[in-house]
Structure 1
Amino acid sequence: MALVILPGLNNLIEDISEEKKLPPNIVEAALREALLKGYEKYRRTFYIGVNEDPFDEEYFSNFDVGLDLDEEGYRILSSKIIVEEVESEDHQISLIEVKQVADDAQIGDTVVLDVTPEKEDFGRMAASTTKQVLAQKLRDQQRKMIQEEFADLEDPVLTARVIRFERQSVIMGVSSGIGRPEVEAELPKRDQLPNDNYRANATFKVFLKEVSEIARKGPQLFVSRANAGLVVYLFENEVPEIQEGTVKIVAVSREANPPSRAVGPRTKVAVDSVENEVDPVGACIGARGARIQQVVNELRGEKIDVIKWSSDPIQYILNSLSPAKVDLVRLVDPEGQHAHVLVPPDQLSLAIGREGQNVRLAARLTGWKIDVKNSHEYDQEAEDAAVSELIIQREDEEKLQREAELRLEAEQAERAAEDARLRELYPLPEDEEEYGEEQYEGEELTDNDPLETLQDTDISAKEEKKR
């Protein structure tokens, strides 16, 4: 067959390569695969309404597409095995037929033949299939390259540019490095900051939250402005002591999207120093607050509390409720990590925070359940009695949980024992092989072979049961 001409083939490959940000060889491979799928569709159309499709999944595995970029066209090629008598014309060719052009041909050799159909015979259905498959393969290659490019990034924070808006999400352009092309990333509503102004071409620092492996039409990357990792990154960039390892961020508690609009975004950061002479809080705040102000500006005015971490839970809880002044911290249930914090009446609202935000963030930061109490009205005896009831309730729940776990372990052990007993009576082929290898390695099987004895015993038991 003659070469099927595709006018402008080279320009087509270049245009797709530039538009999809894919190397030309990737585009060529996708085009070859799409043309092959189109040929399969062309062949299947001959059986529509006549009988069942005779082609299985592997039927066209010996077919390929040859692109001729110089002549701007393609051929369909088929590799066929030389046989004495042909049973499948798509996979075999007779020795007599090959001998007409190659005297040295032998049975079992493989020849490649041009089986390209005429262009006008290809059909609309086959052409449509080619276009669909090409689009799908290009998307698959884009997704694969994005996954490989972004999955192992050392720096999860990227600079993103607003491209457009889809429903409540912002579609942003991000790049994995200098000179790398931009790819689209989605910033969902829940990961946006309420104080951000997402206008076209505006740039933001974003945290790479997820590289999706699920096939989807939209962006494969999901970024966040609300993730606590963004706060850590910003402090690392602004505080040299963190970069050097002198100061370390121990914990971060962030509420970037409060449940109520009356409450603004807020973050608490616990820091520590490996050197006694270095003040970790002062290092993060900087002279006249210069360092922390850079972080606040990037987060569009988000309130940030930097507190000193402590191995002493009482001191840590006290610090976490900053800027409120605390009279006393009582660890009423250390095992259950429950604490009562006593504050003066004028500090009560500050310690709790608007709609409970301050104490909520402190609890997340420390990992303790914190109840803020008025120190002037605190009845220790009554509070201890109430806590004792809670402790008894918690211990009862833990006891029930342990008993449930023990019952589950016992049931699993019983099932395992029963499975082992049944496999001894009715061994699987792999069990027999393993049994023979481990127990009788190097020994000859005799007439009193244990495996035969087990089978005889089992048969005898069944016959006895019948009687």
Structure 2
Amino acid sequence: MKVNVEQLKAAFLGIEEDRQLSPEIVENALKDALTKAYQKHVGLSDAHVRVEIDKGNIHVIPQLEVVEEVTDDEFEISLADAQAVKPDAQIGDMIDEEEADISEFDRVEVVLAKNVMKQKIREAEKQIIYEEYHDKVDEMVSGRIETVEDKFVIVNIGKASAMLRRSQQIPTETYTEGQMINVVITEVNQEGKGAQVLVSRSTPTLVRRLFEKDVPEIYQGVIEIKAIAREPGERCKIAVYSHNENIDPIGACIGPKGQRVQKIIEELHGEKIDIFEWSDNISEFIKNALSPAETIAVFPNENVERGLIVVVPDNQLSLAIGRKGKNARLAVKLTNRKIDIKSVSEMEEQGIDYMALADAMQEEYEQKKAKDLAYRQQEKIDALKNEAQEIQDVEDVDFTYGEEEFEEENPNRNVKTMFEDEQEKKEQDEMEEAARLAKEMRKNKSASDVKEYTSKFEDFADASNKSNEQPAAKPKKKSEPKETAKVEIEVKKPAYDEQMKPIYSEEELEEIEEAEDEENDRWDDDIDYEEFDSYYDD
């Protein structure tokens, strides 16, 4: 049957765009639909058929299987007959028959093909949606409300339409079509009819994701939300803990002037949020969870498994329980313990020493914490001992390594970067240049200059020795000539550094040492050379 190319392309493109499916999926669905329609047309549910779609042409070709002995000529063909049609036919091959005319399909076959194609496309959509969202459970997404019903709301979250059931809605909220809302994906299923993606706005995870979005410290992991309990639309309690002692977890969540928490409250349409600090001490944790009520004591309830009794002042009992038990319920959800709140007068009437029980519970906690700390410290000590045992004694270690062996153990020992090579070469060039300048300076200094310079000191030294008189020391003068003389003396004194010595030859080193000895001999410790500053001032 010849099909209009433009109509076929338009139909395929329409399905692909509306359903966001690939052309291969649509073509495979059409082939399956035509196969079922042909089998219905010939009345053989097991009939072999091959469907081809080529540039708008649809070909439905029945096929027969090649067998040695034919038992049903509707499905099979003998090897001899098959080779007459196709010389290279083998057992198990499929031989094409005359093409079927799908224009002869009646209304039943057409409706069947239509339904099969819809079913295949629906299955393909489900698979795509499942692959897209199954790993996004408990993640927050933004969507637009498409339909509002009494028992549910349909939210378009991108590639799928999710269902927001009435039980997962915030009771104080009103939804309208076209409204943008944030929801948390709670379930993605691949089987069954109806919606595949279920979302919620009443789950505590929504509050957690909002704080992660608006509080950078929580997103970065510096502050952790340890526990969260919620009465949707009314009140929410959050226990936070800071891994950095310099950061206040409560202040970070509230934000400057309450901007961060206020933004979340507006998103939840006025739901109140209480933020308190988490503690591994259950007594402190419950006291914080029951705030703003004051708690006097917390001790175990022997009559209830995982039960605790909380003692509060008489005037704080109703505040601790909360309106309709709201505050107590949130504390139970946060601690995962069964809590029984009692007043002080009730405890005294029963003759229970609640303070002693509370102190015993606190002492048990401190002992357990001390044991845990000691156990962790012992683990560290054992680990260090094990490492020390693995290290050999220094006397038993052979520190003589062959050059090749050392290079094999440290293959990257002599590997240097280009920058290190350039630096080393530059330093070597500088040292060589300094040595060359020192040699030139030494050669340029004539013997007459040295003699002229030193004879002045020697004359005065001889004169002082002949007179045998010790001149009195004069106060030091801070004059420029003195500094000039000092500079000349320092210039005359050879400044040969040990790092420069390897550059000279042995003969040069001997000359340098002789020059140093001569220089040292010119100085006499018994003479105050500052006495003769006036000589240089002239």
Q: Is the 8 A contact 2:290 2:327 kept in 1?
A: yes
Distance in 1 (alpha carbons) for counterparts of 2:231 and 2:2: 62
Q: Is the 8 A contact 1:332 1:384 kept in 2?
A: no
> Structure 1: 5+ residue runs without aligned partners?
45-53, 176-181, 257-263, 386-467
1:63 to 38, 46, 49: 49
Matched, 1:205 2:182: yes
Q: Is the 8 A contact 2:137 2:186 kept in 1?
A: no
**Deviation for aligned residue 1:197:** 2.6
Aligned residues, how many? 354
Q: Which residue of 1 aligns with 2:170?
A: 193
Distance in 1 (alpha carbons) for counterparts of 2:202 and 2:21: 32
Q: Which residue of 1 aligns with 2:13?
A: 14
Q: Which residue of 2 aligns with 1:141?
A: 124
Q: Which residue of 2 aligns with 1:243?
A: 219
Q: 1:208 to 1:113 in 2, by over 3 A?
A: same
Matched, 1:74 2:70: no
Distance in 2 (alpha carbons) for counterparts of 1:361 and 1:346: 20
**Deviation for aligned residue 1:247:** 0.9
Q: Is the 8 A contact 2:161 2:197 kept in 1?
A: yes
Distance in 2 (alpha carbons) for counterparts of 1:86 and 1:9: 39
- Counterpart amino acid of residue 232 in structure 1: R
Distance in 2 (alpha carbons) for counterparts of 1:150 and 1:320: 35
Matched, 1:86 2:62: no
Within 5 Å, give how 1:276-315 maps onto structure 2: 276-315=245-284
Task: Give the number of the structure whose residues are more often helix, by fraction.
Answer: 2
Identical counterparts, % of pairs: 35
Looking at both structures, which has the greater relative contact order when contacts are Cα pairs under 8 Å and sequence separation is at least 6? 1
- Counterpart amino acid of residue 5 in structure 1: V
Q: Is the 8 A contact 1:95 1:105 kept in 2?
A: no
Within 5 Å, give how 1:55-454 maps onto structure 2: 55=45, 59-60=46-47, 62-68=48-54, 70=55, 72-83=56-67, 85-102=69-86, 104-108=87-91, 110-153=93-136, 156-175=139-158, 182-216=159-193, 218-256=194-232, 264-333=233-302, 336-379=305-348, 381=350
Distance in 2 (alpha carbons) for counterparts of 1:360 and 1:84: 78
Q: Is the 8 A contact 2:30 2:117 kept in 1?
A: yes
Q: Is the 8 A contact 1:329 1:341 kept in 2?
A: yes
Q: CA-to-partner distance for each residue in 1:412-446, whole Å, 9 max, x for gaps?
A: xxxxxxxxxxxxxxxxxxxxxxxxxxxxxxxxxxx
Distance in 2 (alpha carbons) for counterparts of 1:126 and 1:384: 85
Q: CA-to-partner distance for each residue in 1:116-146, whole Å, 9 max, x for gaps?
A: 4333431211111111111111111111100
> Structure 2: 5+ residue runs without aligned partners?
355-538
Distance in 1 (alpha carbons) for counterparts of 2:89 and 2:128: 44
Q: Is the 8 A contact 2:234 2:271 kept in 1?
A: yes
Q: CA-to-partner distance for each residue in 1:150-189, whole Å, 9 max, x for gaps?
A: 11238711001100124420001002xxxxxx32000000
C-alpha RMSD of the superposition: 2.6
Distance in 1 (alpha carbons) for counterparts of 2:149 and 2:27: 32
**Deviation for aligned residue 1:97:** 3.9
**Deviation for aligned residue 1:93:** 2.5
Any idea what SS the aligned residue of 1:67 has? strand
Q: Which residue of 1 aligns with 2:361?
A: none
Q: Which has the larger radius of gyration?
A: 2
Q: Is the 8 A contact 1:32 1:65 kept in 2?
A: yes
Q: Is the 8 A contact 2:82 2:95 kept in 1?
A: no
